[in-house]
Amino acid sequence: MPKPLIIDLHLDLAWDALFWNRDLTLTAHEVREQEASGPPQVAEGYNCGLCTTTFPELRRGNVGIILSTIMSRIQPRVGRMRDGMRTQEQSIGMGRGHLAYYQAMTQRGEIKSVRGLSDLEEAVEAWKEPRADTPIYHILSMESADPIIDPDDVEFWWNAGLRVVGPAHFGHNTYIHGTGTEGGLKPPARALYQAMREAGMILDIAHMADQAVWESLELWDGPIMASHCTCRSLVPGQRHLTDDMIREVIRRDGVIGLVFCQFFIDPEVDWNDPPPREQYVAKYKMDGLIPHIEHIADLAGGSLSNLAIGTDMDGGFGAEMTPVDVDTMADLPGFGGVLAEAGYDQQDIDGILSGNVLRLFRNTWTS
């Protein structure tokens, strides 16, 4: 029986390759062996964790379509956060480097860019019966808008394939306040949003500070998503979505990507004051996400059509923090079985695994 197509809304592949120096053409366990035999990649308690996500693992898991990030931000290098830049110019350079990595992997045949409806349908068809050399189809996204020089630079990024922008990340940047801060949009944001809207981009509200979410939604009348989030009413902390935010994503027919990380599942973890990761013992399986699915469905009047997957795996944590029944991306097909055991029908399961995201892009793109 063929595995179902899975779409992952958030993977920091270029960051994994360039910041952590990972060869993503290897299996996850080969990467782990390299890192175990080399010097420890640790800086003041910050390390990359056990590798889960590489191109071979994505293929094994039938994760055939992904949102791959350009990810660089302005943030002081303090504590665990060691990948921030001091200036926007540095973030621009880092973002262009991430783009170059994806272009190199495209030339190699590992990935293929999805820029519109015809590419999307090609991807869906290719992953019905994938071959060993079928590429991972990727939609370019951005986490922190710092690599966008100014509104005029949106045209460059659109032509490079960028289709989704999450303006915020940790801290506050050129355009917006994000995780760990309080505040809204900064003066350059309005013109940036206008340029993004005119280009046809999707706005990602993940990582926005609360005020920034509502100021963004007041300005933005286009398609939205929350690429990698769970419910604040179940797990405390600013990083997660409030019920009102979830309702607004639902009202606008957006999607919310479920994060495959213990700190997004465990109700005893407060994101505003999380425990040290090296002392945390993972305990939740994939079924730990079911309460979030049920809560979002309740807010949607029983519908599961706004749910998706945004694992964020290897986005600052590794297998030590994933659900305990997930070692690598190859284990993601098991989520379908978890959903079936929870009583969801095949139509809803297919929607969460890929169908709801496909609907969003099909409704957004005309060609």
- Domains belonging to the chain, first-starting first, are 6-364 (3.20.20.140)
Report residue 123: phi and psi, to 5°: -65, -45
Q: Look up residue 2 and give its two tokens.
A: 């063929």
Per-residue pLDDT at 80: 67
The arithmetic mean of pLDDT across residues 223-249, rounded, is 98
Residue burial 19-44, b: 16+ Cβ < 10 Å; e: rest = bbebebebbbeebbeebeeeeeeeee
The arithmetic mean of pLDDT across residues 23-31, rounded, is 98
DSSP reduced 3-state for 47: strand
The arithmetic mean of pLDDT across residues 354-358, rounded, is 98
Residue burial 52-65, b: 16+ Cβ < 10 Å; e: rest = bbbbbbbbbbbbbb
Per-residue pLDDT at 46: 56
Q: Give the mean pLDDT of the chain.
A: 95
Q: E-strand spans in the chain?
A: 6-11, 42-43, 46-47, 63-71, 111-113, 136-143, 162-166, 202-204, 224-226, 255-258, 307-309
User: Is the model's pLDDT at 10 over the cut of 90?
Assistant: yes
Write out the DSSP string of 269-326: --TTSPPPGGG------GGGGHHHHHHHHHHTTT--TTEEE---TTSS--TTTS-TT-
User: Is the model's pLDDT at 280 over the cut of 60?
Assistant: yes
User: Is the model's pLDDT at 57 over the cut of 50?
Assistant: yes
Torsion of CA 347, 348, 354, 357, to 10 degrees: 120
Per-residue pLDDT at 128: 96
User: Is the model's pLDDT at 44 over the cut of 50?
Assistant: no
Per-residue pLDDT at 48: 77
Residue 2: is it exposed, middle or buried by C-beta count within 10 angstroms (0-12/13-18/19+)?
Answer: exposed
Q: What are the pLDDT digits (tens) for 317-335? A: 999 999 999 999 999 999 9
H helices present in 151-283, as ranges: 154-159, 189-199, 210-219, 243-251, 262-265
Q: What are the pLDDT digits (tens) for 116-134? A: 999 999 999 999 999 999 9
Q: Tokens 């999707």 — which residue?
A: 202
The arithmetic mean of pLDDT across residues 247-264, rounded, is 98
Angle of CA points 51, 54, 56, to nearest 5°: 125
Q: Among residues 6, 145, 13, 152, which one has the least CA distance to residue 88?
A: 145
Q: Look up residue 233 and give its two tokens.
A: 């009413």
Q: What are the pLDDT digits (tens) for 106-117? A: 999 999 999 999
Question: What is the pLDDT confidence band of residue 43, given thresholds at 50, 70 and 90?
Answer: very low
The arithmetic mean of pLDDT across residues 248-271, rounded, is 97
Q: What are the pLDDT digits (tens) for 193-209? A: 999 999 999 999 999 99
User: Is the model's pLDDT at 185 over the cut of 50?
Assistant: yes
| Packing angle, helices 210-219 and 189-199, rounded to 10 | 50
**pTM as predicted:** 0.97
